[in-house]
Structure 1
Amino acid sequence: MIKKILGVFVLLLTGFFLYGLNEKKDAKQELQAVAPLVKEEEDLTIWMVTDIHYLAPDLFDDGEAFARMKATSAGKDLEHIPAIMEALVWEAAKEQPDLLIVSGDLTFNGEYQSMVELADFFRKIEENGTQVSVIPGNHDIHSGWARKFQGEEMEVVEQVTPEDFEGIFAEFGYDLAISKDPTSLSYVIEPKEGFPFLMIDTNIYSEMKSTKAPIAEGRINEETFTWLEEYFNMQGEPQETYLVGHHPLMNHSGREGGGLVLENSEEATEFFVEKGIQAGFAGHIHAQNISKTDHFKVPFYEIITGALSIFPNAIGEITLSNEELSYQRKTLDVEGWAEEVGNQAPELLAYSQTSHDFFKGDGEILALQMMFEEQWYEEIYEEDVMDFVGMMNVRYFSGEDYVEDESLLEELTNHAGYQIIQDNSETFLKRYTNQLLQDKNLDDLSIVIPHKQ
Structure 2
Amino acid sequence: MGNDEMRKKIGFVLLSIIIVLGVTIYFGRDKEQKEETLFKKEAIEFWVVSDPHYIDKSLTDSGIAFKKIKQTAAGKELDFQKESWQAFIDKAIKQKPEMLIITGDLTLNGEKVSAEKLAELLKQLTDKGINVFVIPGNHDINDGWARKFVGDQQEKTEVISIADFKKIFADFGYQNATSYDKSSLSYSVSVNQRYNFLFLDSNIYPEDSQPQTSPTTGGTIRGKTMKWVKKQLKKAKEEKKKTVVFLHHNIFAHNELLSNGFVLNNAEEFKKVLADYQVPIVFSGHIHAQDIMTETVNDHPLTEIVSSSFSIAPQGYGVVTLNGNSFDYQKQENTHKIPQVENYPEYIKELFIEDGKRLGYTQLTDAGLSDSKKLDIASEFVGQVNYRFFSGNDFISDEEVEKIKAEPGYQIIADNSKFLKDYIDSIIQDKNQKDNQLKKNLY
| TM-score, with structure 1 as normaliser | 0.88
- CA displacement 1:142-167 (0-9 Å, x = unmatched): 10000000110100000011111011
Q: Letter of the aligned partner of 1:241 in structure 2? A: T
SS at match of 1:79: coil
Counterpart of 1:378 in structure 2 is 371
| Residue 35 of structure 1, CA deviation | 4.4
| 8 Å contact from structure 2 (residues 143, 159) kept in 1 | yes
Cα distance in 2 between the residues matched to 1:282 and 1:126: 23
Hey, which bits of structure 1, 4+ residues long, moved more than 3 A?
A: 28-38, 208-211, 232-235
Matched, 1:391 2:387: no
| Residue 209 of structure 1, CA deviation | 5.2
SS at match of 2:129: coil
Matched, 1:68 2:68: yes
Match among 433, 437, 443 for residue 442 of structure 1: 433
- Stretches of structure 2 that go unaligned for 5 or more consecutive residues are 1-28
| Residue 323 of structure 1, CA deviation | 2.2
Q: Letter of the aligned partner of 1:360 in structure 2? A: I
Counterpart of 1:177 in structure 2 is 177
| 8 Å contact from structure 2 (residues 101, 133) kept in 1 | yes
Counterpart of 1:351 in structure 2 is 344
Q: Letter of the aligned partner of 2:257 in structure 1? A: R
Cα distance in 2 between the residues matched to 1:86 and 1:377: 44
- RMSD, aligned α-carbons: 1.7
Cα distance in 2 between the residues matched to 1:298 and 1:185: 28
Cα distance in 1 between the residues matched to 2:270 and 2:30: 21
Matched, 1:55 2:37: no
- CA displacement 1:257-281 (0-9 Å, x = unmatched): 5411111000001111101102100
Alignment map for 1:24-173 (pairs within 5 Å): 32-33=33-34, 35-40=36-41, 42-173=42-173
| Residue 212 of structure 1, CA deviation | 2.8
SS at match of 2:149: strand
Cα distance in 1 between the residues matched to 2:144 and 2:352: 26
Cα distance in 2 between the residues matched to 1:47 and 1:182: 27
- CA displacement 1:318-357 (0-9 Å, x = unmatched): 000102111000011322xx3xxxx2x2x2x411111110
- Shift in CA distance, 437/234, structure 1 to aligned 2, threshold 3 Å: closer
Counterpart of 2:191 in structure 1 is 191
Matched, 1:429 2:420: yes
| 8 Å contact from structure 1 (residues 34, 177) kept in 2 | no
- Stretches of structure 1 that go unaligned for 5 or more consecutive residues are 1-27
Counterpart of 2:406 in structure 1 is 414
Counterpart of 1:321 in structure 2 is 323
- Shift in CA distance, 29/74, structure 1 to aligned 2, threshold 3 Å: farther
| 8 Å contact from structure 1 (residues 31, 179) kept in 2 | no
SS at match of 2:178: strand
Cα distance in 2 between the residues matched to 1:150 and 1:211: 22
| Residue 73 of structure 1, CA deviation | 0.6
SS at match of 1:93: helix
Aligned length: 413
- CA displacement 1:409-450 (0-9 Å, x = unmatched): 232112111011111212x20100111111001100000121
Counterpart of 1:400 in structure 2 is 393
- CA displacement 1:217-236 (0-9 Å, x = unmatched): 00000000111222334443
Cα distance in 1 between the residues matched to 2:30 and 2:365: 57
| Residue 385 of structure 1, CA deviation | 0.8
| TM-score, with structure 2 as normaliser | 0.90
Larger radius of gyration: 2
SS at match of 1:401: coil
| 8 Å contact from structure 2 (residues 77, 348) kept in 1 | yes
| 8 Å contact from structure 2 (residues 234, 277) kept in 1 | no
Q: Letter of the aligned partner of 1:231 in structure 2? A: Q
Question: Percent identity at matched positions?
Answer: 35
- Shift in CA distance, 290/30, structure 1 to aligned 2, threshold 3 Å: farther
Counterpart of 1:263 in structure 2 is 265
